[in-house]
Each structure stands twice: as structure tokens, then as C-alpha cells.
Amino acid sequence: MNLHYEELFTAFIEKANIKRDPCQIAQTLKEAYPNCNLPVSKTIKRCFNGETAHPRETLLGFLSAYILDKTEAEVLEADRKNKLGDFYKIFSEPHEKMIIEKNIPPSVIEPKSKNVFSTSNDRLKTLVIWALCLVVVSLIFYILLSSKRLVLPPNIQFPTMIPLKSGVFTMGDTFNDTDSTANEKPCHQVILDSFEMSQTPIMFDLFDKFCIAKNIPLREDLGWGRKNHPAIMMDWYEAVAFCNWLSELNNLEAVYTIDHNKVNGAIKVMSHLEKNGYRLPTEAEWEYAASIDVKTNIKYRFGNHKNRADGKELNFDSKGNAQNEYTIKGKVFHHQTLPVLESGINQNNLYGMAGNVAEWCHDYYHPRFYKENNNNNNPVAEECLKDTSCLHVLRGGTWKQSASKIRASFRGSSSASSRSEMIGFRVVRRQRQEVKKIAFLNNPISQN
């Protein structure tokens, strides 16, 4: 059988709405058939170049199954019986029939002729068809814009948002810890409006879809795992771009205006916190969600709402030498991120607020902000300080740090262009009064 793999690849790429990139093809097939033994991106690349033999048959079977809307159960059954080629055969039958009827010898697919119009009538017909297509497409766009609905990427699962009521709390190191730093003082009262925070840091499963949609490379997971692991290796600019993307998909107002024309080497970002879309949490919102049980208004040292850190509950370096009175000594050090549901939960039903990954915040980092800021009503540092090289706040500490740096009041920072295996993020938005829900998870994440 002559394998029309070029046409098959083209049909798959058009249906999946992706680029001709082996990594994207492999990722799309993996999402469609997660339990199947899929060819890796390296095999797909070799198939492009015609360097494989039997693996090509297997891969084309998967591509055909995707185009023909075969379920995972059907693919697994065919794979078990080594009949994945049957899917390809169904796809290629029209081509084979044409070859037999017209007595055309099998040959590889050649590029189509550039001379589209063989006669004036053909040209006129083609122009009419294109005009009709343009009218139909315009009508579809008009309907979508009129109803304010967007077409969502396939199988997208939005973050579960946890409502946190407005409150007043004392921000900073109220425990007077010996390991605290000067930037955690003075302690001061802060007034916050209600808001919603994602139950977990943003996971690879969703961040990968953002990367594919924006045609940027998928971020490395260093072999630790994707899907339910926190996404890592994104800079602050990519985190706010993700927030805008999420707002767009939910018909919400974008909070950030991003100008990629760099000014003095930096991307310019303007924020509009009055908008109802997704954004990064302010430093005050993050500490409130991590340290305060909003039902009782009790403050805790750590983000899992306990005053001692245990390596069996939180992902941090509990094995290191930096031990203190609030660390339960042990020999636990994972040397990597853990799935989000294995990184501790607090009374606000939020996971991973201590350790695992440090999280980008909205604010610029001001080391003396607590002392110099005069506005304690929803405080936020919106301006860059020259002596900090325009750093942004990081909160929560990481899998690699000791207990003193995963305390809820600890203030970290990094350059907006930094990417690290220790940094992730979560999102917040204004408390909704009435916002249309599009494919949202309405129930908290379960352990099942």
C-alpha cells in the first residue's frame, strides 16, 4: 500500500489546529489518547523525513484514528490486535480506489500544480466559491461576537477558584521569628476586598495549552512530571500573558496591557486592577490567603495553617542544616516538585501555599514597602524601584529551601525575565457578582 503520509499529516494538523511541529503533534495525540503507546516526537520527526519503516505504520494509524474520531477504547483495542493500520486504510481508500480505476502507478505525493485555473470557467467558479466561503466565515464571526462566546481549545479545564471574603489582618512577621528578615517588618494592618484565588498553582496541563495557543515552546518539566504538577520555568511576563489568555477564554476583561516593544531592555506592562479578569495575586492577597483562616481570622506561621513545618506534609528541605524551633526535624527532601495535591492544604481549601514552588505575585518588590507605604487599603507596589533592578515579589518558598523561607510572611523576589525550576504561579480575580461560567470546575479538586 502506498502511504499518503503527507496528506494524512496535513489533515491531522488542520483538524487539531496546530503547527507542523513534532512536539505539538506528540502532545496533541497524548492528550487525545493518554493510555496508548504513542510514538515520541523523535519518531514523528523521522517520519517527516521518511527515515522510519514500521513505526510509520503505527503513527499513521494514530493520526487516522484522530481524524476519523476514533475513541481511545477503539484505539487500544486496535493496538492490542496490531490493527492500527486499519484506521489508515479507511482514510486512504479513496486514494487507492482512484489509483486502481485510472490505472495510475503508486507514487509519492507531489506538490500540487501552481496553475489552479485551467480555464476561464474554472476560474470564475473558484472565485464564486471563495466569495461564498468568505460570506459564511464572516457570518460565523458575527454570530460569535454578537453572542460574546469564544471557541475553547479542546479538553480545557479551568482552575477551580476559591472565594475569600474581605478582611482586616496584620501583615508581616507577627511571630517575631529569629529567622525572619528586615523586609518583613514593621507589622501593619491591611484591609482587603474579597477576591477569588485558584485552588492550586497553575498546572502543566493548562499551561501547555496556553503555550500551544500562543505558539511558544512548551516549558521543560525536568522529567519530574507534567499534567498535575505545578508548571515551572515561566517568567513573570509569561505569567501575566497567561492571565490575559484565561480572561479572553472566559469573556472577562483583560487586566494587563502588554507592550512587547522593549523599553530599556524590558517589556512594558500596564495593569488595570479594576478589571474583572484573571491576574496575579497582590503580595497582600497572597499572604492573607496563606496565613489567615478567613473563617476564624486566626493567623498561622505556614501556608498550610500550622505553626510547625513537617517534611511529611510540605515539600521543602527538612533534611538540611537550617533547623529551628518550628521545623519538625526529619530526613525528607524530594529534590523536585510534587503534584499539587501532595503539597499541603489549608483551612481556606488552598493547596501548596508553603513550599513546592515559589509563586509570582503582581507587585514589584520594594524591600522597605511595609515602612514607606501609606495606603493600607488593598496595598500594591505598582512602580519599579531602580535600586532593585525592577524585581517582582515571590511568595511561598520552594522545594529546595528550608522552613524559614517557606513561612507565609517570607518575602522573596526575582527579575521579571527570570525562569526557574523553583518558580510557578497561581491566579486571582475580583469576587464575581454574576459572571458567565464556561467549562469551569464548580467543585473543589478531590484526591480521587
Residue 336: the pLDDT is 96
Nearest in space to 84 (alpha carbons), one of 147, 29, 142: 29
pLDDT tens-digit map of 252-300: 999 999 987 766 666 889 999 999 999 999 999 999 999 999 999 999 9
Q: How far is CA 81 from CA 34, 52, 73, 187, in A?
A: 18, 21, 12, 67
Query: pLDDT averaged over the chain?
Result: 82
Q: Which residues have a Cβ under 8 Å from the Cβ of 170 and sit 6 or more positions away?
A: 187, 188, 189, 190, 299
Confidence band for 393, pLDDT divided at 50, 70 and 90 = very high
pLDDT tens-digit map of 289-348: 999 999 999 999 999 999 999 999 999 998 876 667 898 877 789 999 999 999 999 999
**Is pLDDT of 151 > 70?**
no
Q: Is the peptide bond before 367 cis (omega within 30 degrees of 0)?
A: no
What percentage of residues in the chain have a pLDDT greater than 70?
A: 80
Q: How far is CA 303 from CA 197, 243, 395, 398, 408, in A?
A: 14, 23, 10, 12, 6
Neighbours of 16 (CB within 10 A): 20
Residue 28: the pLDDT is 87
Nearest in space to 420 (alpha carbons), one of 287, 209, 234, 154: 234
Q: How far is CA 59 from CA 72, 93, 112, 379, in A?
A: 15, 18, 25, 54
Cα separation, 342 vs 351, in Å, equals: 8
pLDDT tens-digit map of 168-199: 999 999 999 988 999 999 999 999 999 999 99
Q: Of residues 165 and 117, which shows the higher confidence score?
A: 165
Q: Of residues 445 and 266, which shows the higher confidence score?
A: 266
Mean pLDDT of the region 422-444: 62
Q: Of residues 360 and 66, which shows the higher confidence score?
A: 360
pLDDT tens-digit map of 417-427: 999 999 999 99
Mean pLDDT of the region 430-440: 47
Q: What pTM was estimated for this model as a whole? A: 0.64
